[in-house]
């Protein structure tokens, strides 16, 4: 049995540490809702909601307790288990119960973190140097905490939305998105999704706000496996065919191919919005491309930059290859993976048809590899919704450029867009480029973003669900 006194002392020390006013931290939240967001964030980081550890239900239970304590009816807060994880919904009833609800979306799960690689314990929620450090601080527990605190604060203030607002916290965004798929089906009558897991504010190195991105589309992800088999034989007696040489020719053709440049309402808005801040030569290329995607020189200038190449067109690149079995044998089989990022509105079947044409070899089989991702659709930029977002962003950064954007990776929004429900990424975190450690080591959220972030969520919800 362990001695009682040291344990008590340790508990007391811990209690005192937590009782120390966090507002005293430089840049820490000073509003009640902001302090609650910080408390929620720290609690959330300390529950290691990594796939396979079965901790999502524990985090959901803690959040449920807070929501119910704040006045959400117990019957309106529900956790739906899906395997070892699950999703949480908290329904905030509006005046018109029949109107299509607004879904506010964040995810509870995080990617793995190896403590030995981090400078601080990734699951200890350490507040230091103006940041909260820990796995998920940014992706996505920071915004989860800010939006949950915002909804709690609105509830306490007695606000009644015009229509139902549903807080949806998924439990496997980083892996299977099975909770997202199930929740999207359950909420398929929703009118709009506000996703806390993409978009957000960008700060210049000196900390002044630079731009705000609203994520309204994602490229479609697709892997294709190319397979070629051959009778093979002794390498001293080469025949007419060689599987490695044939596959190399096919992969070279794919690597050299340029899909046609494309422009959508979303990317047009992106190029025009970004041109306003870009250096003159680049800005000219952006404006020219936005006016005419057939402008080859403009498409070339934008494609030459890694940050923009993905927004110009569909891209396909060979990413893996495996072939041959001995140094002195003709190869009997070669397989390769081609990874495509497809412009929204183009189907995977259309891209596969192009690959078949490029390969120009009926002996090479091309098979789509289904990893559960869906074909992506762009969400329309509805003027009244964009105006509401502007109102909320301008409270913290008057006159800030608001730029709609498309991302190369998939978020939970994919499952809603596939059902025809518009989804916009509107994170309330404002970050410097050097603060973006999502999925990486020493992930952190600036304390200074919490108070204005909670306020941004409150104002946006009031404006959109009025």
Q: Which residues bind Zn ion (CB under 5 A)?
A: 139-140, 197
Shortest distance, position 371 Cβ to Zn ion, whole Å: 17
191 contacts 94 by C-beta, under 8 angstroms? no
CB of 123 to Zn ion, least distance (A): 17
C-alpha distances in Å from residue 441, one per residue of 113, 115, 206 = 8, 9, 23
Q: How far is the CB of 457 from Zn ion (least distance, A)?
A: 17
Q: Which is nearer to Zn ion, 202 or 412 (CB)?
A: 412
3-state secondary structure 18-70: HHCCHHHCCCCCCCHHHHHHHHHHHHHHCCCCECCCCCHHHHHHHHHHHHHHC
**Considering beta carbons, is residue 140 or 449 the nearer one to Zn ion?**
140
CA-based R_g, the chain, Å: 25
| Closest of 156, 192, 146, 151 to residue 29, by C-alpha | 146
Q: Which 3 state secondary structure label does DSSP give 263?
A: coil
Considering beta carbons, is residue 138 or 402 the nearer one to Zn ion? 138
Residue 465: both structure tokens together: 């669900």
- Smallest distance from Zn ion to CB 414, Å: 12
| Alpha-carbon dihedral sign for residues 124, 129, 132, 135 | negative
Closest listed residue to residue 355, CA positions, set 449, 216, 204, 247:
247
Indicate the residue among 371 and 466 with the shorter CB distance to Zn ion. 371
Q: Could you tell me the two tokens for 422? A: 């518009």
| DSSP codes, 363-394 | TSEEEEE--S-----PPP--HHHHHHHHHHHH
Helix (H, G, I), strand (E, B) or coil at 401: coil
Nearer to Zn ion, 197 or 378 (CB): 197
Minimum CB distance to Zn ion, residue 434 (Å):
19
The C-alpha atoms of residue 430 and residue 258 are separated, in whole angstroms, by: 35
* Residue 1 CB, nearest approach to Zn ion (Å): 44
Given the complex with Zn ion, which of 314 and 407 has the nearer CB atom?
Answer: 407
Cβ proximity to Zn ion, 153 vs 197, nearer residue: 197
* Closer CB to Zn ion, 215 or 456, in the complex: 215
What are the angstrom distances between the C-alpha of 382 and each of 94, 109, 192, 241, 286? 22, 30, 11, 56, 23
Q: How far apart are CA 313 and CA 260, in angstroms?
A: 6
Residues 6+ apart with CB under 8 A from 343: 219, 220, 259, 262, 264, 313, 314
Q: How far is the CB of 50 from Zn ion (least distance, A)?
A: 13
Rank residues 72 and 87 by Cβ distance to Zn ion and give the closer one.
87
Residue 153 or 172: the one with the smaller Cβ distance to Zn ion is 172
First-to-last C-alpha distance (Å) of the chain: 59
Instruction: List Cα–Cα distances, 57 to 82, 86, 111, 221, in angstroms.
Output: 10, 7, 16, 30
- Which tokens sit at 93? 């009833």
Write down the least CB distance from residue 411 to Zn ion, Å.
Answer: 6
Shortest Å distance, C-beta 55 to Zn ion = 17
- The whole-angstrom separation of Cα 8 and Cα 347 is 62
User: What's the min distance (Å) between Cβ of 70 and Zn ion?
Assistant: 25
């Amino acid at each position: 049995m362990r001695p009682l006194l040291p344990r008590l002392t340790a508990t007391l020390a811990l209690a005192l540490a937590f009782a120390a006013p966090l507002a005293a931290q430089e840049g820490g939240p000073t509003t009640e809702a902001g302090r609650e967001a910080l408390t929620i964030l720290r609690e959330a980081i300390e529950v290691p909601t990594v796939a396979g550890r079965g901790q999502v239900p524990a985090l959901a239970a803690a959040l449920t307790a807070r929501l119910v304590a704040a006045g959400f009816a117990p019957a309106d807060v529900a956790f739906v288990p899906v395997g070892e994880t699950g999703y949480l919904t908290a329904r905030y009833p509006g005046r018109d119960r029949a109107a299509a609800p607004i879904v506010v979306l964040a995810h509870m799960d995080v990617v793995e973190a190896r403590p030995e690689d981090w400078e601080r314990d990734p699951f200890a929620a350490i507040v230091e140097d103006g940041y909260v450090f820990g796995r998920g601080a940014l992706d996505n527990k920071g915004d989860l905490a800010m939006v949950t605190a915002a909804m709690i604060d609105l509830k306490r203030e007695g606000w009644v939305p015009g229509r139902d607002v549903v807080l949806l916290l998924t439990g496997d965004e980083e892996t299977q998105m099975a909770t997202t798929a199930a929740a999207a089906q359950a909420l398929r009558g929703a009118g709009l999704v506000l996703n806390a897991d993409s978009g957000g504010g960008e700060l210049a190195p000196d900390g002044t706000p630079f731009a705000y991105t609203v994520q309204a589309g994602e490229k479609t992800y697709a892997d294709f496996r190319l397979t070629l088999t051959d009778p093979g034989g002794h390498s001293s007696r080469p025949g007419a065919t060689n599987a490695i040489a044939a596959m190399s020719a096919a992969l070279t053709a794919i690597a050299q191919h340029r899909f046609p440049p494309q422009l959508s309402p979303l990317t047009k808005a992106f190029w025009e919005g970004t041109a306003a801040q870009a250096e003159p030569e680049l800005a000219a290329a952006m404006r020219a491309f936005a006016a005419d995607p057939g402008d080859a020189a403009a498409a070339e200038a934008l494609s030459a930059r890694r940050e923009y190449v993905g927004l110009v067109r569909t891209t396909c690149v060979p990413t893996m290859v495996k072939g041959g079995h001995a140094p002195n044998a003709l190869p009997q089989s070669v397989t390769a993976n081609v990874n495509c990022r497809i412009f929204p509105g183009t189907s995977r079947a259309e891209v596969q048809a192009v690959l078949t044409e490029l390969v120009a070899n009926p002996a090479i089989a091309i098979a789509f590899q289904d990893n559960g991702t869906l074909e992506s659709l762009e969400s329309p930029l509805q003027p009244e919704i964009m105006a509401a977002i502007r109102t909320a962003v301008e409270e913290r950064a008057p006159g800030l450029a608001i730029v709609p954007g498309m991302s190369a990776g998939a978020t939970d929004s994919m499952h809603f867009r596939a059902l025809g429900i518009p989804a916009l990424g509107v994170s309330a975190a404002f970050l410097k480029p050097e603060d973006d450690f999502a999925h990486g080591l020493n992930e952190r959220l600036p304390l200074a973003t919490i108070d204005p972030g909670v306020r941004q969520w409150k104002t946006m919800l009031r404006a959109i669900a009025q």
